[in-house]
Amino acid sequence: MRDPYFFTEKMCVGHKSPLIEDIRIRLDRGEILTLIGPNGAGKSTVLKSIARQIGLMGGAVYLDGRSLEHMSGAELARKMAIVLTERLRTERMTCEDVAATGRYPYTGHFGILSEKDRRAVREAMELVHVAEIRDQDFGKVSDGQRQRVMLARAICQEPEIIILDEPTSYLDVKYKLEFLSVLQEMRKKRDLTVVMALHELDLAARVSDKVLCLNGRYVDRFGRPEEVFEQGYISRLFGISAGSFDEGNGNMELEAAKGEAEVFVIAGGGTGRNTYRSLQRRGIPFATGILFQNDLDYPVARALAADCIAAESFEPISGELLLEAREKMETCKKVICCREAFGTYEAANRELLAFAEKGGKTVEWPGAERGG
pLDDT tens-place string over residues 166-225:
988 878 888 888 888 888 888 888 889 999 999 899 889 989 999 999 988 889 999 999
Phi, psi of 166 (to 5 degrees): 50, 55
- Minimum mean pLDDT among 26-40, 118-132, 239-253, 284-298: which range? 239-253
- Asked whether the predicted pLDDT for residue 357 surpasses 50, the reply is yes
Residue 288 DSSP class:
E
- Asked whether the predicted pLDDT for residue 372 surpasses 70, the reply is no
What's the rounded mean pLDDT across residues 14-28?
Answer: 88
DSSP string, 83-141: E-SSPPP-SS-BHHHHHHGGGGGGTTTTT---HHHHHHHHHHHHHTT-GGGTTSBGGGS
Spatial separation of the C-alpha atoms in residues 154 and 196, rounded to whole Å: 13
Q: Is pLDDT larger for residue 22 or for residue 335?
A: 335
Neighbours of 174 (CB within 10 A): 10
Tell me what pLDDT residue 276 has. Answer: 97
- Asked whether the predicted pLDDT for residue 368 surpasses 70, the reply is no
What's the rounded mean pLDDT across residues 289-300?
Answer: 94
Spatial separation of the C-alpha atoms in residues 151 and 314, rounded to whole Å: 46
CA 115 to each of CA 100, 103, 120: distance values in angstroms, whole numbers, following the listed order: 12, 11, 9
Q: Judging by beta carbons within 10 Å of its beta carbon (0-12, 13-18, 19+), is residue 260 exposed, middle or buried? A: exposed
Confidence of residue 371 (pLDDT cuts 50, 70, 90): very low
Mean pLDDT of the chain: 89
- Asked whether the predicted pLDDT for residue 367 surpasses 70, the reply is no
Q: Which residues contact 306 (CB under 8 A, 6 or more apart)?
A: 256, 257, 259, 260, 261, 285, 286, 287
Spatial separation of the C-alpha atoms in residues 121 and 97, rounded to whole Å: 9
Tell me what pLDDT residue 351 has. Answer: 94
Confidence of residue 370 (pLDDT cuts 50, 70, 90): very low
- Asked whether the predicted pLDDT for residue 136 surpasses 90, the reply is yes
**Residues 81-130 pLDDT 10s:** 998 876 667 778 999 999 999 998 888 667 788 999 999 999 999 988 89
Strand pairing partners for 194?
32, 162
Question: In 3-state terms, what secondary structure has residue 25?
Answer: coil
What's the rounded mean pLDDT across residues 301-328?
Answer: 94
- Asked whether the predicted pLDDT for residue 2 surpasses 70, the reply is no
Confidence of residue 162 (pLDDT cuts 50, 70, 90): very high
**Residues 243-289 pLDDT 10s:** 888 887 778 899 999 999 999 999 999 999 999 999 999 999 999 99
